[in-house]
């Protein structure tokens, strides 16, 4: 397919030069371009396909970058990038040195607010609206939030505040009945009732036309409307929060979108426009399976199927999910919890086998942690599976509601360490640093997939809070055997040697072990310890193998500042050790996107960098 209109889109001014009758053709070209361009590289295809018409209409009516579009999460902003001078860059989106897969302030003046996590757009847009008014500006602030992100508590905090402020603000609710997985909970049902309650709006408009002709009748009707309306349509919630509710309208119909957005642009006060879209529209595989096609790697245009990985080994996520489901077969007290990501955290099998014990709470990590605490109070064994970067949002609940009360909640932190293409917003760099300072919390990091199984067995046997962190990666292909509980607080001695001590934390182990083997072949015999337990720390094992005057190295796939390396250094110095200390971890930067191999090489945490650093230390 050729792109006669799309190829003219060098800036938003080129869009405004089109006639309204040309917009459907532009939308078709944009969809085709996204489907074909992303096929060899992957990306967040489904979300972008669903908002093509909405994005075109927004840019056609408003004046970006003077007017500000704040996309919640930002993964649906691919069409926005295509219309704002970044069309050619789409060929390298989410690749090293390429466009971000999310909105990013440093990338374009048309991205006024960066994103990556959900439920932030309304808060940011309100802040920008207040800033505009304090500075005497005239911009329009437009937040686009999905119905999935609306399940996050922060979105309601912002709605509550914005409704009270009464400032000019437009919130577009992009309702596609999906977050990543199908939406759950009362809010999803609530929005569905709004959709089916459309006849109320029609009846209301017809009644108004009649009552306007009768003296005093319209005022009387308005006084009872508030009481009757709540019984007829649930749209009252947004209006009770101070917003003028408009909709729902078809988000793929320019005849509905353009005049409605133009009217919203002229209205005063906070407005909520409810737009109905279909995730993955225009690509039948994405329409039929929007969860799989939310974000994925390369796929085949011919078959419409994701291309299989060349690595035959199961991922750590799969190993975790299968192991937990097997444990739950034998123990009815085990309960699994996810925050809108059952597939991403490996809980699909668990959900099929134990649906009554698998809870998707929506994009609500804070609630998930305290919900787990409540389950634990009743004698159950809750396992909360959340990405490392998302558990940051539940930090207070981990401390206050779980750890202070010493409740047996198991936090399974997927995507710990380098994640690759999603970049800084999704990199799990900080969990070891912010968790290891919490009293009473056991923290484990497996060296391989079998050890992950053993650690899950250990965690479920503990009578207190436990965290296990593991990467977004395939396993090493070790033989899987029956899980066994580990002795809490004990590391694993792999090699002994007199030329120094190397401590490996988590799944950097394979590269660390290979580097140590290469160095041992040169005659420099290093001791290697697989730490296993970040907390409690196996101080006895470490102190027993520190060699006076010899190298001590700690290698972890987490931030160096606050990392376990600092604690081990303090332990060694406190015991009177003197020698060369090496701490390899993630540097004090926000890690950029790229493949995991590229990122590990850039931050000097791959096998080549580990060998070079240890080898040089042995020679010094």
What region does 381 belong to: left with phi over 0, alpha with psi -120 to 50, or beta? Answer: beta
Q: What is the pLDDT of residue 389?
A: 96
CA distance 604 to 247: 52
For 62-82, the pLDDT digits (tens) are 999 999 999 999 999 999 999
> Element (H or E) spanning 528, and its range?
strand 527-530
Domains of the chain: 6-197+233-288 (3.40.50.970), 316-469 (3.40.50.970), 492-619 (3.40.50.920)
Q: Is 279 designated active site?
A: yes
CA distance 238 to 170: 13
Q: What is the pLDDT of residue 209?
A: 54
Q: Is 496 designated active site?
A: no
DSSP string, 368-383: HHHHHHHHHHTT-EEE
CA distance 191 to 248: 9
DSSP-derived secondary structure letter, 423: G
- The structure's pTM equals 0.88
Active-site entry in 29, 177, 365, 598: 365
**Pair 181, 341: CB distance under 8 Å:** yes
Q: What is the pLDDT of residue 201?
A: 44
Q: What is the pLDDT of residue 311?
A: 81
Please state, as a whole number, how many other Cβ atoms lie within 10 Å of the Cβ of residue 169. Answer: 25
Q: Is 365 designated active site?
A: yes
Please give the structure tokens belonging to residue 112: 């006024």
Q: What is the pLDDT of residue 216?
A: 58
pLDDT under 70: residue ranges of the chain: 178-235
Active-site entry in 86, 94, 132, 393: 393
Active-site entry in 81, 132, 279, 447: 279
């Amino acid at each position: 397919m050729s792109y006669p209109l799309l190829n003219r889109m060098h800036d938003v001014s080129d869009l405004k030069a089109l006639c309204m009758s040309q917009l459907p053709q532009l939308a078709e070209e944009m969809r085709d371009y996204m489907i074909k361009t992303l096929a060899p590289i992957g990306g967040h295809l489904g979300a972008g396909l669903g908002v093509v018409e909405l994005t075109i209409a927004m840019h056609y009516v408003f004046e970006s970058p003077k007017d500000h579009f704040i996309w919640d999460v930002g993964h649906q902003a691919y069409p926005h990038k295509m219309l704002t001078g970044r069309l050619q860059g789409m060929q390298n989106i989410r690749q090293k040195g390429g466009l971000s897969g999310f909105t990013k302030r440093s990338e374009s003046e048309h991205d006024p607010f960066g994103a990556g996590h959900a439920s932030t757009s309304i808060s940011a847009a309100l802040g920008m609206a207040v800033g505009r008014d304090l500075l005497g500006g005239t911009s329009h602030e437009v937040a686009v939030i999905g119905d999935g992100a609306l399940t996050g508590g922060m979105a309601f905090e912002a709605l509550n505040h914005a409704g009270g402020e009464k400032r000019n603000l437009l919130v577009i609710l992009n309702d596609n009945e999906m977050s990543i997985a199908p939406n759950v909970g009362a809010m999803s049902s609530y929005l569905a009732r709004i959709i089916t309650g459309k006849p109320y709006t029609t009846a209301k408009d017809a009644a108004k036309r009649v009552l306007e002709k009768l003296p005093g009748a319209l005022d009387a009707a308005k006084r009872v409307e508030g009481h009757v309306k709540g019984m007829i349509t649930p749209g009252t919630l947004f209006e009770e929060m101070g917003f003028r509710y408009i909709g729902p309208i078809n988000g793929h119909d320019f005849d509905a979108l353009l005049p409605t957005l133009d009217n919203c642009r002229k209205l005063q006060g906070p407005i909520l426009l409810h737009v109905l879209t279909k995730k993955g529209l225009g690509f039948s595989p994405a329409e039929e399976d929007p969860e799989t096609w939310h974000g994925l790697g390369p796929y085949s245009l011919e078959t419409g199927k994701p291309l299989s990985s060349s690595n035959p080994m199961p991922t750590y996520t799969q190993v975790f999910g299968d192991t937990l489901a097997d444990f739950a077969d034998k123990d009815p007290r085990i309960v699994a919890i996810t925050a809108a990501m059952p597939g991403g955290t490996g809980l699909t099998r668990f959900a099929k086998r134990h649906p009554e014990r698998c809870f998707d709470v929506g994009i609500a990590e804070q609630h998930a942690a305290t919900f787990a605490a409540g389950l634990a109070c009743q004698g159950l064994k809750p396992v909360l599976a959340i990405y490392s970067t998302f558990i940051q949002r539940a930090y207070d609940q981990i401390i206050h509601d779980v750890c202070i009360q010493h409740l047996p909640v198991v936090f399974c932190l997927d995507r710990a360490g380098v994640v690759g293409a999603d970049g800084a917003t999704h990199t799990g760099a900080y969990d070891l640093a912010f968790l290891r300072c919490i009293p009473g919390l056991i923290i484990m990091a497996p060296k391989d997939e079998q050890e992950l199984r053993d650690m899950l067995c250990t965690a479920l046997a503990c009578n207190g809070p436990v965290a296990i962190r593991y990467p977004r990666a395939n396993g090493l292909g070790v033989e899987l055997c029956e899980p066994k509980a580990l002795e809490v607080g004990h590391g694993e001695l792999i090699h002994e040697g007199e030329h120094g001590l190397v401590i490996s934390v988590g799944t950097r182990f394979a590269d660390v072990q290979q580097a140590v083997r290469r160095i041992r072949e040169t005659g420099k015999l290093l001791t290697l310890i697989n730490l296993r337990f970040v907390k409690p720390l196996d101080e006895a094992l470490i102190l027993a193998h520190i060699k006076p005057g010899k190298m001590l190295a700690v290698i972890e796939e987490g931030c160096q500042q606050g990392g376990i390396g600092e604690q081990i250094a303090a332990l060694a110095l406190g015991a009177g050790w003197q020698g060369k200390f090496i701490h390899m971890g993630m540097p004090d930067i926000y890690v950029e996107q790229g493949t995991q191999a590229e990122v590990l090489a850039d931050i000097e945490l791959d096998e080549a960098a580990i060998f070079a650093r240890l080898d040089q230390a042995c020679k010094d």
